[in-house]
Amino acid sequence: MLIDFFYTLKKAGLPVSLKELLALLEALEQQVIFASVDDFYHLSRMCMIKDEKYFDRFDQAFGHYFHDLEMIEDFESFLIPHDWLNPDWIKNLSDEDKAKIEALGGFDKLMETLKKRLEEQQKKHQGGNKWIGTGGTSPFGHGGYNPEGVRIGGESRHQRAAKVWEKRQFKNLDGAAEMNTRAMKMALRKLRKFARTGAAEELDLSGTIKSTADNAGLLDLKMRPERHNAVKLLVFFDVGGSMDYHVQQCEELFTAVRAEFKHLEYFYFHNCIYEKLWQDNHRRWEENISTWEVLNTYGDDYHVMVVGDAAMSPYEITEPYGSVEHMNEEPGHVWLRRITEHWKKLVWLNPVPEEYWSYTHSTQMLNKLVNRHMYPLNLNGLQDAIDALAK
């Protein structure tokens, strides 16, 4: 009974348990739904999935199970890019290609052929993942306007009404996807550590009872301070240069940390941390603060987040005078070592997706320098980083 379905979900990395499968079977037995796939989709989702961040993955696995495709990855992005249907790209084609298109009977004919080919593939390969346009003979691969090619699978592109799970409307809620401020705040909240500091304003009931008992029954009120979040956070942001592409992500992170932490200090640097940091980007040359001062001011009880893409020339880390902007007497790695030695709780958040890190030498070097505590700046990465900080 639905055992294959259960294993399909499991294989897709969804946290499903036997208890939930039994609940689903019970619901089917009680005839909550009547022979409708849409209803079954909703029912199975509400029984098996308990967090909307898994909805997208569930949609894919559900589609996979009901279409019996070969690989779950096949479900990723298989719609025709809009460019293809937009005749504008024709302008970009070479004369040779244009001639070829003419030979095939003009643009409309070409699109017709594409459609037919898609249908053929659907029938022959059951929604397989053949690359259109890489064969060398297909007219779709010549122009070079889409060097990646396009994978075709599923069936929504045939103008058939898309099924609920094919709409993939919960794509944004997947944890590995990008995040928003609110999601970030939730992740940061895990770092909260409550401590009683400040004025004694709250009645300490157990203390009162104890001291009243000690006092032979005469009431002796005890007060204690309220609990407040006592975590202190220090954030270093890389600004300028290649970081311009990640401004929005950094802004969101900044908003989130500002809302969550009372003890928050932040400094900017460029590419790598050297002897100077600054707090106001407009006046970075006039008003800066020596890194030594920062090291001495903020104790080792601070948690540190470094936010940067870690993409630079390796010389900026290894060599004195390696910085692209100024003459630094000591190389970046010396400063980083000082920082990691002073603050034991340190993570590096990198807005560049993890897959690309291995292509940049400096990223690997820095990851090593921060003792492998570099995490991608997405929701999962942030959560891992917070876990590492909270340890």
Structure tokens at 107: 């643009």
Task: Kindly tell me which of 92 and 180 has the beta carbon lying closer to other proteins.
Answer: 180
Cβ neighbourhood burial of 295 (10 Å; 0-12, 13-18, 19+): middle
Query: CB of 5: closest distance to other proteins in angstroms?
Result: 17
Strand-pair partners of 237: 268, 307
Query: CB of 32: closest distance to other proteins in angstroms?
Result: 4
Query: CB of 311: closest distance to other proteins in angstroms?
Result: 25
Task: Kindly tell me which of 103 and 213 has the beta carbon lying closer to other proteins.
Answer: 213
Query: CB of 260: closest distance to other proteins in angstroms?
Result: 12
Task: Kindly tell me which of 16 and 114 has the beta carbon lying closer to other proteins.
Answer: 16
Task: Render the burial of 105-136: b for 16+ CB within 10 Å, e for the rest.
Answer: eeeeebeeebeebeeebbeeeebebeebbeee
The amino acid at 279: Q
Strand-pair partners of 305: 235, 347
How far, rounded to the nearest angstrom, does the alpha carbon of residue 174 sit from its chain's CA centroid?
A: 9
Query: CB of 133: closest distance to other proteins in angstroms?
Result: 33
Query: CB of 3: closest distance to other proteins in angstroms?
Result: 18
Residues 370, 336 contacting (CB under 8 angstroms): yes
Task: Kindly tell me which of 261 and 335 has the beta carbon lying closer to other proteins.
Answer: 261
Q: Going by DSSP bridges, is the β-strand pair 150-151/131-132 parallel, antiparallel, or unpaired?
A: antiparallel
Task: Kindly tell me which of 20 and 238 has the beta carbon lying closer to other proteins.
Answer: 20
The count of other CB atoms within 10 Å of the CB of residue 268 is 19
Task: Kindly tell me which of 32 and 289 has the beta carbon lying closer to other proteins.
Answer: 32
Task: Kindly tell me which of 50 and 116 has the beta carbon lying closer to other proteins.
Answer: 50
d(CA 124, CA 126): 6
Q: Residue numbers of the site for other proteins (CB under 8 A)? A: 15, 17, 19-20, 23, 26-27, 30, 32-33, 38-39, 42-43, 45-47, 49-52, 55, 169-170, 181, 186, 189, 248
Query: CB of 24: closest distance to other proteins in angstroms?
Result: 10
Residue found by looking up tokens 């902007």 in the block: 325
d(CA 248, CA 4): 42
